[in-house]
Amino acid sequence: MADELLLLNPGPVPVTDPVLEAMAEPMVSHRSTDFEAVYERAQNGLDYVFTRSTLDGESTSAGGTSLLLNGTATMGMEAAVANLVGPGDEVVALANGKFGRRFSRIAERYATVRTVEAEWGQSFDLDAVREAITVDTDLVTMVHNETSTGLLNPVAAVGELAAAHDARFVVDGVTSLGGDEFRIDDWHVDVAITDAQKALAAPPGISAMYVSDRVASELDGSRAPFYADLERHLAKADDHQTPFTSAVPLFRAMAVAVEEIVDEGMPTRIARHRRQAAAFRAAFDAMGLEPFPDPAGPTARSNTVTAISLPDAVRDNHTAFFDAVRERNVAISGGQAHLAGRIFRVSNMGNLSGEQVLRGVNAIGESFRDVGVDVDLDAAVDAAETELGS
């Protein structure tokens, strides 16, 4: 029998059996104490992820609230912006990929936006960011781990600039939280957002947000979309409920998924993600492939999503390459927007084992051979095993 489908696309990622089983339990009312207990379990686990995503497991927040949203992280991004700024306010949005650009487009609906752009896959020029953030800036938005390019952006440096000008700082931690380091107060993050189906390894459909106590009183839900009024969400979160009907099975699955993260412990989980990303990077290097992102200064390659340039020989025939990977029952992703046909992306978010990483390396290496690229697969597997410590 063929190996089961291995999801190495950057979300949704594989979920464990207990997470799947949680979704099959009988329904309860979202206004019942049974549901409140589920919400509270999810909240406790999310508090842990949002505030203790460090290598020493120490708390990084003086206080804040984790809440769950009935919608994916794009809803959270919009909610954060819409509750913090309105007409006449100024937002500085950093964009060096699809999701940074999305943040900027969201902000344009609510306020005046100055976008600091870098080419997709390139580092931001911190001098340009420094110039853009002024005393008039009300809010700064950025993406920590740019999934579209596999780049880890310098949240700490930008947070310092935002704080120096008393601007609020909203960070998309969608593909870092639960897999890599994230420091709320040290990085001056006022609101952090993540999705269920990424490094939290829960099913897609809902998202989570951390609202630091620093900004809770500044939220103005009356100017946000009715469904995304964070004042109402925060008030309800205190009662372990959502303002509107909750996606009960997804909340249950989230509760189990974050409890599994607590069991593993963030320090161990971060180290594992770093090892596995290093294994993918080393394997692709050994295959003679070129990384797509081009980090500099405090910017780095991602520890959760690896983006690799497709060799010239494959670009014109990239469908055959992706088909060959799919035939091996492995799911990876291509490039988004103008990067379609230029790159491929592999995720190591969630609960992957070392064997699954090696299966991905083998499937990708064999698929390159299928389309005529002569990669050294033995060297790639050796390199990956060395990084995995296996």
Q: For ligand PLP, which is the closer residue by CB, 51 or 207?
A: 207
Is 154 a binder of ligand PLP (CB under 6 A)?
no
**110 to 27, 70, 98, 134, 232: CA distances (angstroms):** 37, 21, 19, 19, 19
Is 72 a binder of ligand PLP (CB under 6 A)?
yes
Least distance from ligand PLP to the Cβ atom of residue 208, Å? 12
Q: Which of 283, 247, 305 lies closest to 384 in space, CA to CA?
A: 283
- The 10 Å CB-count burial string (b at 16+, else e) for 106-137 is bbeebbebbbbbbebbbbbebeebbebbeeeb
Preceding amide of 18 cis, omega within 30 = no
**Cα–Cα dist 92/88, whole Å:** 13
Q: For ligand PLP, which is the closer residue by CB, 181 or 387?
A: 181
Is 143 a binder of ligand PLP (CB under 6 A)?
yes
Is 242 a binder of ligand PLP (CB under 6 A)?
no
Is 175 a binder of ligand PLP (CB under 6 A)?
yes
Q: For ligand PLP, which is the closer residue by CB, 80 or 174?
A: 174
Is 150 a binder of ligand PLP (CB under 6 A)?
no
Is 73 a binder of ligand PLP (CB under 6 A)?
yes
Among 67, 82, 162, 174, binds ligand PLP (CB under 6 A): 174
Residues 259-298 binding ligand PLP (CB under 6 A) are: none
Is 180 a binder of ligand PLP (CB under 6 A)?
no
Binding mask 195-234 for ligand PLP (x = CB under 6 A): x---------------------------------------
Is 74 a binder of ligand PLP (CB under 6 A)?
yes
Residues 83-112 binding ligand PLP (CB under 6 A) are: 99
- Residue pair 43/240 in contact by the 8 Å Cβ criterion: yes
**332 to 99, 212, 319, 324, 378: CA distances (angstroms):** 19, 35, 12, 11, 21
What is the per-residue DSSP string for 203-272?
-TT-EEEEEEHHHHTT--GGGS-GGG-HHHHHHHHHTT--SS---HHHHHHHHHHHHHHHHH-HHHHHHH
Is 147 a binder of ligand PLP (CB under 6 A)?
yes
Q: For ligand PLP, which is the closer residue by CB, 346 or 384?
A: 346
Is 308 a binder of ligand PLP (CB under 6 A)?
no
Q: For ligand PLP, which is the closer residue by CB, 7 or 388?
A: 7
Who contacts 265 (Cβ-Cβ below 8 Å, separation ≥6)? 57
Interacting residues with ligand PLP (CB under 6 A):
11, 72-74, 99, 143, 147, 172, 174-175, 195
